[in-house]
Amino acid sequence: GFSVLIGVFDSGHGGLTVLRALVDAAPTRPFVYLGDHGAAPYGPRDEEDIHRLTLRGMEHLFDQGCRLVVIACNTAAAVSLRRLQQEWLPTAYPGRNVLGVLVPMVEAITRVPWMIDTVPPDHLAEPRTVGVFATLATVKSGSFPREIGKRAPSVRVVQQACPDLVPLIERGAPDSELAPAVAGYVAALIDRLEGQSLDTVVLGCTHYPLVAHLFSAALPPGVEILSQPLLSARSLEQYLDRHPEYRPEPGETGLRFFTTGSAPLVSELAGRFFGHPTPFERLSP
Ligand code: NHL
């Protein structure tokens, strides 16, 4: 038999929140995680830079034997996913595929039928107004409004970049420091709605699930908060069901963690995002 490894790519360790959900959904499947700590953060970089780094990450994972890679980083997916799928993959790695966290979010918002059972029943109607919180690069790329607009042109999308949040989360700031920052971004987004009510928000950055409770406290009651790790896991499950060629051989399991940064440092930091120890190995260039 052949090995059907699935790769998970992120700019750092935030994507471990997504890997956690993928492993919970498919505990017997082998995954390889790659965090590009040597180049993180991606959020403040320009598009060419992000595309070049994301492409290099894909090459590393495909060369490790991955048949399928999930881009867990919103910034990388927002800037690069369509370009990789359309311009690069078919000629560079025919027969392999790249999925990105952005797509399940857009499908959930626009109520693609298989997503219906993943949203609360009182929210079944397509939302009218969606708020997106993300990094600067994700907001600038316009990918969320563009992809939502393709499927559901009547949905209004309002974006808010939250550049202070990742540094605060990274250094483990207490809620007393994080809450005012989150509240400020929520207020800024609501200001730009001009009185229209908000139905759904997307936490469009790997780090924001860690402060979902603060978003929930700062948002008006009744606003649906979409969970990226959960939606990504459902989406991958659906994808794997439709693609039996990705079925692993029985007994084929395992989980490996690679970083382009310092393995001891990253192993120390990353456990908090995964909920289990994460013994990172340095990716040999
Ligand atoms: C990721 C890794 C970091 C490592 C060291 C310092 C700061 C970091 C910040 C981030 C956040 C990350 C990014 O690259 O900007 C957010 C990205 N994964 C996303 O948009 O989902």
Is 41 touching ligand 1 by the criterion CB < 6 Å? yes
Cis peptide before 41 (omega within 30 of 0): yes
Residue 183 has pLDDT above 60, yes or no: yes
**Interatomic CA distance for residues 233 and 248, integer angstroms:** 17
Q: Is 177 exposed, middle or buried (0-12, 13-18, 19+ CB in 10 A)?
A: exposed
Atom 4 of ligand 1, residue of closest alpha carbon: 40
What confidence category does residue 241 fall into, taking pLDDT thresholds of 50, 70 and 90?
A: confident
Residues 12-61 pLDDT 10s: 999 999 999 999 988 888 999 999 999 999 999 999 999 999 999 999 99
Contacts of 251 (CB under 8 A, 6+ apart): none
Catalytic residues: 73, 205
> Ligand 1 pocket, 72 CB below 6 A?
no
Q: Residue 58 and residue 66: Cα distance in Å, rounded?
A: 9
Residue 205 CB–ligand 1 contact under 6 Å? yes
Which residue puts its alpha carbon closest to atom 6 of ligand 1? 41
Interatomic CA distance for residues 190 and 148, integer angstroms: 19
Q: Which atom of ligand 1 is nearest to the CA of 12?
A: 2
pLDDT score recorded for residue 127: 76
**C-beta 35 within 6 A of ligand 1:** no
Probe residue for ligand 1, chosen from 42, 211, 260 as the CB with the greatest number of ligand atoms within 8 Å: 42
Whole-model pTM above 0.90?
yes
DSSP assignment of 125-176: SPPSEEEEEE-HHHHHHTHHHHHHHHH-TT-EEEEEE-TTHHHHHHTT--HH
Give per-residue pLDDT as tens, 187-231: 999 999 988 999 999 999 999 999 999 999 999 999 999 989 999
In sequence order, what are the residues at sequence separation of 6 or more whose Cβ sits closer than 8 angstroms to the Cβ of residue 152? 109, 110, 126
Residue with the nearest Cα to atom 8 of ligand 1? 41
CB 34 within 8 A of CB 9: yes
Q: In testing the pocket of ligand 1, which one of 207, 265, 266 has its CB within 8 Å of the most ligand atoms?
A: 207
| Best mutation site among 71, 74, 135, 141 for ligand 1 pocket (most ligand atoms within 8 Å of CB) | 135
pLDDT tens profile 103-127: 999 998 887 655 545 555 455 567 7
- Tell me what ipTM this predicted complex has: 0.95
71, 74, 69: which is closest to 41 by C-alpha? 74
Residues 6 or more apart in contact with residue 78 via CB below 8 angstroms: 102, 134, 137, 138, 141, 143, 144, 204
57 lines ligand 1 (CB under 6 A): no
pLDDT score, position 110: 86
Q: What is the DSSP string of 25-84?
A: HSTTS-EEEEE-TTT---TTS-HHHHHHHHHHHHHHHHHTTEEEEEE--HHHHHHHHHHI
For 42, residues 6+ apart whose C-beta sits below 8 A from its C-beta are 11, 36, 50, 53, 73, 75, 76, 135, 137
Size (the chain), residues: 285
Q: To which residue do tokens 């790997």 refer?
A: 206
Q: Is the CB of residue 16 less than 8 Å from the CB of residue 33?
A: yes
Give the list of residues 6+ apart from residue 208 with CB closer than 8 angstroms, or none.
133, 162, 165, 215
**Structure tokens given for 158:** 């309002």
Give the closest residue (by CA) to ligand 1 atom 9: 41
73 Cα–ligand 1 center, Å: 8
Sign for the CA dihedral angle at 234, 209, 85, 150 comes to positive
* Torsional class of 134: left (φ above 0), alpha (ψ -120 to 50), beta (otherwise): beta
